[in-house]
Amino acid sequence: MILEFIERLSNLSYPLRPPGALPEDDFIDRCIRCRKCAEICPYDSIIMAHGHRGLKMGTPFIYPQKIPCYLCEDFPCIEVCPTDALQDVQDQRDVAMGLAVIDESLCLPFNGIICRACYERCPIYKEAITLKDQLYPVVQKEHCVGCGICEQVCPTNPKAITVVSAHK
């Protein structure tokens, strides 16, 4: 029963982890909650989980609606991680944090209003988000890294494009 309880506590949510993060379970095992990634992040994108995330409290995650990951060239967060919970990433395109998902009932172009916010701001420009018929944004799964910039710039409320963790 205790095991079940802990299991439940530790699986409350799958937050978006910083670049290079191991799969969720391995990440939880490795991460020692040292806060170095949050301290070094130049955009203050990385924030810390609180008690409402159960036993995941103190682990780093990104809340893209507020500040997304801007995919630094040299990934300082990965560099400072002492336990390799964040593994080396060669290139921006190799990051696999998450995947953007479009809710077509909320997305403006699908409702007859022209909007290219996510398409224009996507760092994997013209590859991760493409335009179908020059109008409708489509996420290309194999190219999207899950940085969350599209979620932040999306003008609708609630957001029509959201990023889910790659480890969900």
Partner 1 sequence: MQKLEHILYRHLNRIRRTMQWLALLFIVFVPILNVWGFHEIIGTFYSLTIGSLNIVDPSLMLQTILLSEQVKFGLLLAGIIPLIMALFFGKTFCSWVCPFNLLAEYTAKLRVKIFRNQTRSVNINPKPQVYWFILGGIFLLIGVLGTPLISYFSFPGLISAQITDTILFATVGIEWSLIIAVLLIEFFYKPRFWCKYLCPVGAVLAIPRFKNSLSVQYESKRCSVQCSADKSESLCNTACPFELNPRKTDIYPYCFNCGACVYVCQNNGGHALKFTFHPEKPIHSNHKSLKQEELYKNEPSAQTTTNLQEV
Single residue of 11, 14, 36, 156 touching partner 1 by CB under 8 A: 36
- According to the binding rule CB under 8 A, does residue 72 interact with partner 1? no
Residue 82 within binding range of partner 1, rule CB under 8 A = yes
Least distance in angstroms from the C-beta of 73 to partner 1 = 16
Please spell the DSSP secondary structure of 151-167, one letter per residue: HHH--SSS-SEEEEETT
For residues 140 and 131, give the distance between their C-alpha atoms in angstroms, rounded to a whole number.
Answer: 10
Check binding of 80 to partner 1 (CB under 8 A): yes
User: Is residue 126 a contact residue for partner 1 (CB under 8 A)?
Assistant: no
Any idea which residue has 């953007």 for tokens? Answer: 100
Q: How far is the CB of 17 from partner 1 (least distance, A)?
A: 16
Calpha distance 123→161 (Å, rounded): 15
6 lies in the site for partner 1, by CB under 8 A: yes
Instruction: Give yes or no for a cis peptide into 158 (omega within 30° of 0).
Output: yes
Supply 13's token pair. 């949510």
Options 4, 51, 90, 157; binder of partner 1; rule CB under 8 A? 51
Residues 81 and 47: beta-carbon distance below 8 Å: no
Footprint on this chain of partner 1 (rule: CB under 8 A):
3, 6, 10, 26, 28-36, 38-40, 44, 47-48, 50-51, 55, 57-58, 80, 82-84
